[in-house]
Amino acid sequence: MGLTVSTVVNYLSWQEDLFQEFPTYFLSFLAGTVGIISVLYLTKVYASSSFGIQRQLQQRLSSAESDVAESPTDTTAAEEVAFDTSNPSKRVPVSVNFHFTRVCNYACGFCFHTAKTSHLTPLEEAKRGLQMLANKGMKKLNLSGGEPFTQAKYVGELCKFSKQVLQLESVSIVSNGSKIRKDFFTIYGEYLDILAISVDSFDEETNIKIGRGK
Protein backbone atom coordinates (compact mmCIF):
# COMPACT_ATOMS: atom_id res chain seq x y z
CA MET A 1 0.00 0.00 0.00
CA GLY A 2 1.51 3.28 -1.07
CA LEU A 3 1.56 6.54 0.84
CA THR A 4 0.19 9.64 -0.79
CA VAL A 5 1.49 13.12 -0.18
CA SER A 6 -1.82 14.01 1.50
CA THR A 7 -1.51 11.11 3.95
CA VAL A 8 2.02 12.09 4.92
CA VAL A 9 1.04 15.72 5.42
CA ASN A 10 -1.92 14.75 7.62
CA TYR A 11 0.26 12.45 9.71
CA LEU A 12 2.92 15.10 10.26
CA SER A 13 0.23 17.63 11.19
CA TRP A 14 -1.24 15.23 13.82
CA GLN A 15 2.23 14.65 15.29
CA GLU A 16 2.80 18.39 15.57
CA ASP A 17 -0.57 18.92 17.36
CA LEU A 18 0.18 16.06 19.76
CA PHE A 19 3.59 17.53 20.59
CA GLN A 20 2.05 20.96 21.25
CA GLU A 21 -0.72 19.58 23.49
CA PHE A 22 1.51 17.07 25.32
CA PRO A 23 2.46 19.42 28.20
CA THR A 24 -1.24 20.05 28.93
CA TYR A 25 -2.10 16.35 28.88
CA PHE A 26 0.89 15.49 31.02
CA LEU A 27 0.17 18.15 33.65
CA SER A 28 -3.49 17.08 33.90
CA PHE A 29 -2.44 13.48 34.36
CA LEU A 30 0.16 14.49 36.97
CA ALA A 31 -2.32 16.64 38.92
CA GLY A 32 -4.87 13.85 38.97
CA THR A 33 -2.33 11.33 40.18
CA VAL A 34 -1.09 13.63 42.96
CA GLY A 35 -4.69 14.28 44.03
CA ILE A 36 -5.48 10.57 44.31
CA ILE A 37 -2.29 9.90 46.28
CA SER A 38 -3.06 12.82 48.63
CA VAL A 39 -6.59 11.56 49.31
CA LEU A 40 -5.34 8.05 50.03
CA TYR A 41 -2.63 9.39 52.36
CA LEU A 42 -5.00 11.68 54.27
CA THR A 43 -7.54 8.87 54.61
CA LYS A 44 -4.86 6.65 56.10
CA VAL A 45 -3.71 9.41 58.49
CA TYR A 46 -7.31 10.13 59.58
CA ALA A 47 -8.02 6.45 60.20
CA SER A 48 -4.83 6.09 62.22
CA SER A 49 -5.58 9.22 64.25
CA SER A 50 -9.17 8.19 64.96
CA PHE A 51 -8.05 4.75 66.07
CA GLY A 52 -5.38 6.30 68.29
CA ILE A 53 -7.81 8.73 69.92
CA GLN A 54 -10.38 5.99 70.47
CA ARG A 55 -7.75 3.72 72.02
CA GLN A 56 -6.49 6.50 74.33
CA LEU A 57 -10.05 7.31 75.44
CA GLN A 58 -10.76 3.66 76.19
CA GLN A 59 -7.54 3.43 78.19
CA ARG A 60 -8.47 6.51 80.23
CA LEU A 61 -11.95 5.16 80.94
CA SER A 62 -10.54 1.78 81.98
CA SER A 63 -8.06 3.51 84.27
CA ALA A 64 -10.83 5.67 85.77
CA GLU A 65 -12.94 2.59 86.50
CA SER A 66 -10.06 1.03 88.41
CA ASP A 67 -9.53 4.22 90.38
CA VAL A 68 -13.20 4.42 91.38
CA ALA A 69 -13.17 0.77 92.45
CA GLU A 70 -10.18 1.44 94.70
CA SER A 71 -11.23 4.88 95.93
CA PRO A 72 -14.96 5.81 95.60
CA THR A 73 -14.29 9.34 96.84
CA ASP A 74 -11.84 10.16 94.03
CA THR A 75 -13.63 13.07 92.31
CA THR A 76 -11.44 13.09 89.18
CA ALA A 77 -11.94 9.38 88.55
CA ALA A 78 -15.66 9.73 89.22
CA GLU A 79 -15.97 12.46 86.61
CA GLU A 80 -14.18 10.27 84.07
CA VAL A 81 -16.57 7.36 84.63
CA ALA A 82 -19.60 9.65 84.57
CA PHE A 83 -19.28 9.79 80.77
CA ASP A 84 -18.63 6.07 80.21
CA THR A 85 -21.61 5.19 78.02
CA SER A 86 -20.41 1.61 77.60
CA ASN A 87 -20.99 0.84 81.31
CA PRO A 88 -24.34 2.36 82.43
CA SER A 89 -24.19 0.61 85.79
CA LYS A 90 -20.91 2.36 86.61
CA ARG A 91 -21.94 5.91 85.75
CA VAL A 92 -21.47 8.42 88.57
CA PRO A 93 -24.01 11.25 89.15
CA VAL A 94 -21.31 13.85 89.89
CA SER A 95 -23.57 16.87 89.29
CA VAL A 96 -27.33 16.68 89.95
CA ASN A 97 -30.07 19.15 88.96
CA PHE A 98 -33.10 18.67 91.25
CA HIS A 99 -36.38 20.26 90.09
CA PHE A 100 -38.21 19.66 93.37
CA THR A 101 -41.25 21.79 92.47
CA ARG A 102 -43.02 22.89 89.30
CA VAL A 103 -44.94 25.69 91.01
CA CYS A 104 -43.94 29.24 89.98
CA ASN A 105 -45.31 32.72 90.64
CA TYR A 106 -44.64 33.72 87.02
CA ALA A 107 -46.14 32.44 83.79
CA CYS A 108 -43.36 32.87 81.24
CA GLY A 109 -44.58 31.78 77.83
CA PHE A 110 -41.23 30.25 76.88
CA CYS A 111 -40.66 28.23 80.07
CA PHE A 112 -40.34 24.46 79.65
CA HIS A 113 -41.15 23.75 83.30
CA THR A 114 -44.58 25.29 83.86
CA ALA A 115 -46.69 23.90 86.70
CA LYS A 116 -48.72 20.85 85.74
CA THR A 117 -48.83 19.57 89.31
CA SER A 118 -48.43 21.05 92.78
CA HIS A 119 -46.80 17.88 94.11
CA LEU A 120 -43.97 18.38 96.57
CA THR A 121 -41.99 15.35 97.74
CA PRO A 122 -41.95 15.16 101.56
CA LEU A 123 -38.76 16.68 102.92
CA GLU A 124 -37.47 13.52 104.58
CA GLU A 125 -38.08 11.52 101.42
CA ALA A 126 -36.20 14.12 99.36
CA LYS A 127 -33.29 13.94 101.81
CA ARG A 128 -33.24 10.17 101.53
CA GLY A 129 -33.04 10.46 97.74
CA LEU A 130 -30.17 12.93 97.97
CA GLN A 131 -28.36 10.61 100.39
CA MET A 132 -28.62 7.79 97.83
CA LEU A 133 -27.19 10.05 95.13
CA ALA A 134 -24.33 11.11 97.42
CA ASN A 135 -23.58 7.46 98.12
CA LYS A 136 -23.21 6.96 94.36
CA GLY A 137 -20.77 9.84 93.98
CA MET A 138 -22.75 13.10 93.78
CA LYS A 139 -20.52 16.12 94.49
CA LYS A 140 -22.62 19.05 93.27
CA LEU A 141 -26.33 19.80 93.65
CA ASN A 142 -28.43 22.46 91.92
CA LEU A 143 -31.94 23.14 93.24
CA SER A 144 -34.44 24.49 90.75
CA GLY A 145 -38.13 24.54 89.86
CA GLY A 146 -40.55 26.06 89.09
CA GLU A 147 -39.53 28.77 91.51
CA PRO A 148 -37.59 27.31 94.47
CA PHE A 149 -38.44 30.20 96.79
CA THR A 150 -42.16 29.41 96.66
CA GLN A 151 -40.95 26.81 99.19
CA ALA A 152 -38.26 28.87 100.93
CA LYS A 153 -37.97 26.79 104.12
CA TYR A 154 -38.03 23.54 102.16
CA VAL A 155 -35.21 24.57 99.81
CA GLY A 156 -33.28 26.01 102.76
CA GLU A 157 -33.46 22.71 104.62
CA LEU A 158 -32.25 20.87 101.52
CA CYS A 159 -29.26 23.23 101.33
CA LYS A 160 -28.48 22.71 105.02
CA PHE A 161 -28.73 18.92 104.73
CA SER A 162 -26.58 18.85 101.59
CA LYS A 163 -23.75 20.84 103.19
CA GLN A 164 -23.92 19.65 106.80
CA VAL A 165 -24.72 15.97 106.34
CA LEU A 166 -23.75 15.12 102.78
CA GLN A 167 -20.84 17.61 102.76
CA LEU A 168 -21.23 18.33 99.05
CA GLU A 169 -18.63 20.48 97.34
CA SER A 170 -21.24 22.81 95.83
CA VAL A 171 -24.91 23.61 96.47
CA SER A 172 -26.66 26.12 94.22
CA ILE A 173 -30.15 27.52 93.55
CA VAL A 174 -31.59 28.93 90.32
CA SER A 175 -34.36 31.48 90.97
CA ASN A 176 -36.25 34.27 89.23
CA GLY A 177 -35.35 36.41 92.25
CA SER A 178 -38.82 37.74 92.99
CA LYS A 179 -39.45 35.91 96.27
CA ILE A 180 -36.02 35.96 97.90
CA ARG A 181 -35.99 37.50 101.36
CA LYS A 182 -33.14 38.60 103.62
CA ASP A 183 -34.16 36.30 106.48
CA PHE A 184 -33.50 33.30 104.25
CA PHE A 185 -29.79 34.16 104.17
CA THR A 186 -29.76 34.80 107.90
CA ILE A 187 -30.84 31.19 108.48
CA TYR A 188 -29.50 29.30 105.45
CA GLY A 189 -26.93 31.56 103.81
CA GLU A 190 -23.94 29.60 105.09
CA TYR A 191 -25.19 26.45 103.34
CA LEU A 192 -25.52 28.01 99.89
CA ASP A 193 -22.52 28.32 97.56
CA ILE A 194 -24.15 29.82 94.45
CA LEU A 195 -27.38 31.73 93.83
CA ALA A 196 -28.21 32.21 90.15
CA ILE A 197 -30.87 34.74 89.14
CA SER A 198 -32.47 34.43 85.70
CA VAL A 199 -32.79 37.75 83.87
CA ASP A 200 -34.58 37.95 80.51
CA SER A 201 -34.95 41.72 80.16
CA PHE A 202 -34.23 44.95 82.04
CA ASP A 203 -37.34 46.51 80.50
CA GLU A 204 -40.48 46.06 82.63
CA GLU A 205 -42.82 46.20 79.62
CA THR A 206 -40.90 43.36 77.99
CA ASN A 207 -41.04 41.34 81.21
CA ILE A 208 -44.82 41.82 81.36
CA LYS A 209 -45.21 40.69 77.74
CA ILE A 210 -43.24 37.48 78.28
CA GLY A 211 -45.07 36.68 81.51
CA ARG A 212 -42.60 37.53 84.24
CA GLY A 213 -43.60 41.09 85.14
CA LYS A 214 -45.97 42.49 87.75
Cis peptide before 146 (omega within 30 of 0): yes
Catalytic residue among 68, 78, 94, 104: 104
Catalytic residue among 108, 120, 126, 174: 108
Answer yes or no: 159 catalytic.
no
Answer yes or no: 111 catalytic.
yes
Answer yes or no: 108 catalytic.
yes
* Full strand arrangement of the beta sheet holding 95-99: 95-99, 140-144, 170-175, 194-197
Catalytic residue among 82, 103, 111, 195: 111
8 A C-beta contact, residue 122 and residue 128:
no
DSSP code of residue 95: E
- Residue of 173, 166, 175, 167 whose CA lies nearest to 189: 173
- Report d(CA 207, CA 109) in Å as an integer: 11
- Report d(CA 194, CA 74) in Å as an integer: 23
- Report d(CA 153, CA 112) in Å as an integer: 25
- Report d(CA 152, CA 107) in Å as an integer: 19
- Report d(CA 11, CA 9) in Å as an integer: 5
Residue numbers annotated as active site: 104, 108, 111
